[in-house]
Amino acid sequence: MRKNDDIVNHMRNAPDDDILELVHALMHDYRSLQYRFLRDGPHDITHMDGKVLGFFGRHPGATQSDLAQHSGRDKAQLARLIKGLRDRGLLAAEVDQDDRRNVRLSLTDAGQAIQRTLRQQARRLSAQAVSGLSATEREQLLTLLRRVKGNLDPQDGPG
């Protein structure tokens, strides 16, 4: 049974100067809206399912090890996710001809359809999120967020 109200990740009264808490709340709301209609639909897609499908959509033929390296997630957790997606017909597996120990994964037609739906929903939510902002304000917001991200990136940040 899924819990629809997530009060742990909702900090509605975050202090005005806690920018990262606001960014976290914003992303939580975005993800919640993005996956609500799929979660309640015929495929029962979770956020992590969507992330795994997205990875193999961008990297067809990648392996479970590639996903683990990219995501930093536990291999056992990823194995369960991949098995579930394969069982539901969203991921296809093919043994690597050069190294039969490796299994190459890619989206099935059904998995591709879900990815298209997720991208369409992401575009709708992005447009909704910035509605009422001028083109200049959207560019300023992007510039400022990139700068904040750069400050936290160990390779780019001030250190």
The predicted-structure confidence for 62-113, as pLDDT tens digits, reads as follows 999 999 999 989 889 999 999 999 999 999 999 988 888 889 999 999 999 9
Q: For the domain that residue 48 is a member of, what is the CATH number?
A: 1.10.10.10
Q: Are 60 and 106 in contact (CB under 8 A)?
A: yes
4 — pLDDT class (breaks 50, 70, 90): very low
pLDDT at 5: 47
Q: What span, in angstroms and rounded, lies between the C-alpha atoms of 149 and 156?
A: 9
Q: Buried b / exposed e across 42-73, counting CB within 10 Å, b at 16+?
A: ebebeebbbebbebbbeeeebbbebbbeeeee
Q: What span, in angstroms and rounded, lies between the C-alpha atoms of 91 and 97?
A: 18
Considering only residues 75 and 16, tell me which one the structure prediction assigns the higher pLDDT: 75
Domain assignment of residue 92, yes or no: yes
Structure tokens at 128: 């909704």
Task: For residue 33, give its domain range.
Answer: 19-124
Considering only residues 141 and 158, tell me which one the structure prediction assigns the higher pLDDT: 141
pLDDT at 97: 85
Name the nearest CA neighbour of 25 among 40, 8, 37: 8
Q: Tens digit of pLDDT for each residue in 110-155? A: 999 999 988 888 899 999 999 999 999 999 999 999 999 999 887 7
Domain assignment of residue 8, yes or no: no
Q: Tens digit of pLDDT for each residue in 29-62? A: 988 888 787 777 776 788 889 889 999 999 999 9
pLDDT at 16: 55
Domain assignment of residue 36, yes or no: yes
Q: What is the dihedral of CA 125, 129, 131, 133, to 10 degrees?
A: -140
pLDDT at 82: 95
Q: How many domains is the chain partitioned into structurally?
A: 1
pLDDT at 1: 39
Q: What span, in angstroms and rounded, lies between the C-alpha atoms of 34 and 111?
A: 16
12 — pLDDT class (breaks 50, 70, 90): low
Q: CB within 8 A of 132, min separation 6: which ones?
A: none
Q: What span, in angstroms and rounded, lies between the C-alpha atoms of 78 and 132?
A: 40
Domain assignment of residue 3, yes or no: no
Average pLDDT, the chain: 85
Q: What span, in angstroms and rounded, lies between the C-alpha atoms of 10 and 46?
A: 18
Domain assignment of residue 26, yes or no: yes
Considering only residues 30 and 10, tell me which one the structure prediction assigns the higher pLDDT: 30
Q: At what angle do helices 19-39 and 135-152 cross, to 10 degrees?
A: 110
Amino acid letter, residue 155: Q
